[in-house]
Structure 1
Amino acid sequence: MSLSPTVPTEVADRVWVARHAWFDVNVTYVAGERGLVVVDTHASTRMGREVVETARSLGAGAVVGVVTTHAHHDHVLGTAAVRDAYGEVPVHAHEACVEELEAWAADRPAYAGEEAEPGEVDASPVVLPDHPFSSAAVLDLGDRVLELVHPGRGHTSGDLVVRIADADVLLAGDLVEESAPPAYGPDSFPMEWPLALDVCLQLCTDRTVVVPGHGAPVDRAFVRDQRADIGVVAETIRDLAGRGIRVEQALEVGEWPLDRSVLGHAVTRGYQHLPASQKRLPLL
C-alpha cells in the first residue's frame, strides 16, 4: 500500500484537519499564540513523522501538546515521533484512556492489517499520556483555550471531545463517524453511548463544525441523527432482553437501524451491561 502525503484543510480559524487515506483517520491541528496542539497522531511512527511535517508546514509555531481522543492504535502510535521532534510535550487524555492504552500495550496483539511498510505498526512504540484528567480540562494557548471534556463512555471507556469555542468546532473522536457506521467494538459501551452524544450535542450550536474520528467534517444535525440510531440500538437491546430474548437470538429477532453485520459487539456488550432487573429469564 502506497500513501501520498495528506494536505490539511482549514475547517475554521487556525483549525486544520488532515484526513488520511490509511484508516480514513483524522489528525487535527489547533494553533494559538503559544503554539500548536495536535489531536490524535495516527497509527505508526512513520505516520507520526508525517504529522510533524504537516505541523511544520502550517507555520503556526511548535507543537506544544498532544491530545489523545481514545486508546485505539490508529489514533495514538504516532506520538513517539511527535516527541522525537518537539521534546517531551505533554500528552493529554482521559484517565480511563490511559488505563486502556497501558493494558493494550502490556498484552499487545500482532497487527494483521494493511500497512505501507511491513511491521510498521508493531514496531511503533506506545507513549502513555502523562496529563490525565477525570471530567474536564482546559489547555490555554494564549489567545484561545481548548476544552477537553469526557462526555461519558461510548466508543470506549476513555473517550474525550475537544471544544474550541471561539472557532465553534468540536473534535469528537470516534464517538462520531462519518465514513462508516458507528464502530461498536469489544470495548464499547452501547447502552451509555447515546448519553455521551447528548453531552456532545449540548456542546454544539447549529453552526458548529464537528470533526469525526473518521471521515469528513459534519454538523450538529448529523450528530443528532447518529445519536438517534445509536439510541435505537440501545433501546432495542433493552427491549429484547426485557422480553427474555436470548443474546444469541437478538440480532436476528431485533429490528435494527444499522446493518446487523456491525452490531455483534453492540448486542453482546449491551446484554452484559444491562442490570439484572432489566433482563428476564430467556424464553424456552
Structure 2
Amino acid sequence: MFTEVADRVWVARHAWFDVNVSLVGGEAGLVLVDTHASGLAARAVVDDVRRLGRGEVVAVVNTHEHFDHTFGNATVREAWPAVALHAHEEAAARTLEAGERVKARYAEGEDPHREEVLATEVLAAERTFSSATTLDLGDRFVELVHPGRGHTSGDLVVRVPDADLVLAGDLVEESTVAGGPGFGEDCWPLEWPHSLDIVLGLLTSTSTVVPGHGAPVDRDFVEEQRNAIGVVAQTVRDLAARGVPASQALEATTWPYPAEHLVHAVNRGYAHLSRGEKRLPMV
C-alpha cells in the first residue's frame, strides 16, 4: 500500500526485507523506483499502483543491482510494455550476474520465498548513465544522480527538487540501524562516506530522505550515518597503517557497528587500500 510522503511522491514499505518501493508522479505519468524482490512480489506492486489510480508507469528506476530492488522489472514491463528501465551503467551491467548469484543461493536453501525467486525472470535496465541524468514528467523534473560508490559500485539517488525529497536507495538504511547499513560483499566502505557527502549536498535542512529499507528520515539521520561509516573507513586505514592484518582487525579495536556486521566492510576496505596506506608485515 502506497503512502504519500511528499507532493505526489508515494512509498510502499514491504515486510519482506523491509524494502521500500516508491512512486513519483507528474503530468506525463509515474516513475516507479525499485521493483521488489521477485516477479510474484512485483505483481502486488503493480496492483497497488493501479489501485492508487494516479496514472500509468512510464519509467522504472533501479537504485542499484541487488535483487530486492530489481527482480520485479520484468513484471512491471509486462504490465506497462512501453516502460523505460533506468539504472546507473555499473548497476545495469551487473544486474544479470547478481541475479544469478542470488538464485544459486536460494536454490540451495529452504527460504519460504525460494520458488518465487527462482521463477523470476531477471531483466536489466537498458537506459543508463554515468554521472547524472534527468527524467521529464511534464510539470516536474526527476534527477538521477550517481554520487559515487558505497553500498555497491552502481548506486544512484533520485532527487525530486520541487518536493525537497531524495530517494536514497541503500546508500542510506534506516531499518538496520542497530546493526548498521548494508556492508555486503560488493560494498565500497572507503568511498561510501564521500558518496554520502554528495548526497548531503543535495539536501536541505527540511528534506525528506527515503532509505532503501525502513522509514523516511531527515538530513540529520543521513549525516549521522555518514559519520559512522566514516569511522569504519578511517578505522580500517588506521589499523592497516599500524600493520594490523585484516584477519585481526575486527578484534583489534571498537567499531561503531557490531563486529559481525563488518566482515565484508573490513575485508573490502583492506583490499581497496593503496600500497602506501599499508604497513608491512601484513597477512
Q: Which category describes the TM-score, using the shorter chain as reference length?
A: over 0.9
**Is 1:173 aligned with 2:172?**
no
Contact 2:58 2:82 (8 Å CA) reproduced: no
SS in structure 2 of the partner of residue 31 of structure 1: strand
Runs of 5+ in structure 1 lacking a partner? 1-6
| Contact 1:210–1:219 under 8 Å retained in 2 | yes
- Which position in structure 1 is the counterpart of 2:253? 254
Distance in 2, Cα, partners of 1:53 & 1:60: 12
In structure 2, distance between residues paired with 1:281 and 1:123: 49
Q: In the alignment, residue 114 of structure 1 is paired with which amino acid?
A: D
Aligned counterparts of 2:93 and 2:241: Cα–Cα separation in 1: 33
Counterpart for residue 236 of structure 1: 235
1:19 aligns with 2:16: no
Matches within 5 A, 1:37-116: 37-105=31-99, 108-111=103-106, 112=109, 114-116=111-113
Q: Is the 8 A contact 1:152 1:196 kept in 2?
A: yes
CA distance in 1, matches of 2:160, 2:278: 41
C-alpha distance in 2 between matches for 1:282 and 1:191: 22
SS of equivalent residue, structure 1 residue 272:
helix
Instruction: Answer whether contact 2:39 2:120 (CA < 8 A) is retained.
Output: yes
Higher deviation after alignment, 247-256 or 151-160: 247-256
Deviates more, 1:122-131 or 1:102-111: 102-111
Change (3 A) 1:68 1:212: same
1:212–1:250 Cα change, 3 Å: same
Partner of 1:3: none
Q: CA deviation at 1:255?
A: 1.9
Q: Secondary structure at the match of 2:112?
A: coil
SS of 1:10's equivalent in the other structure is: strand
Q: Any unmatched runs of 5+ in structure 2?
A: none
- Separation (CA, whole Å) in 2 of partners of 1:154 and 1:239: 20
Check the 8 A contact 1:147/1:164 in 2, yes or no. yes
* Amino acid aligned to 1:201: L
- The offset of 1:39, in angstroms, is 0.1
Name the CA distance, whole Å, in 1 between partners of 2:156 and 2:252. Answer: 34
Count of aligned pairs between the two proteins:
277
TM-score by length of 1: 0.95
Native 8 Å contact 1:236 1:255 kept in 2 = no
Asked whether the 8 Å contact 1:148–1:162 carries over to 2, the reply is yes
- Letter of the aligned partner of 1:148 in structure 2? L
Contact 2:73–2:124 (8 Å) recurs in 1: no
* Residues 272-283 of structure 1: pairs in structure 2 closer than 5 A: 272-282=271-281
Paired amino acid for 1:142: G
Indicate the structure with greater helix content.
Answer: 2
What's the Cα RMSD here?
Answer: 1.3
TM-score, structure 2 normalization: 0.95
Give the residue type in structure 1 aligned to 2:167.
Answer: L
Counterparts of 1:84-233 in structure 2 under 5 Å? Answer: 84-105=78-99, 108-111=103-106, 112=109, 114-116=111-113, 118-180=114-176, 181-233=180-232
CA distance in 2, matches of 1:60, 1:130: 25
Q: Quote the Cα distance in structure 1 between the aligned partners of 2:196 and 2:15.
A: 26
Q: Is the CA contact (8 Å cut-off) linking 2:171 and 2:211 kept in structure 1?
A: yes
Compute the displacement of 1:283 (Å): 6.5
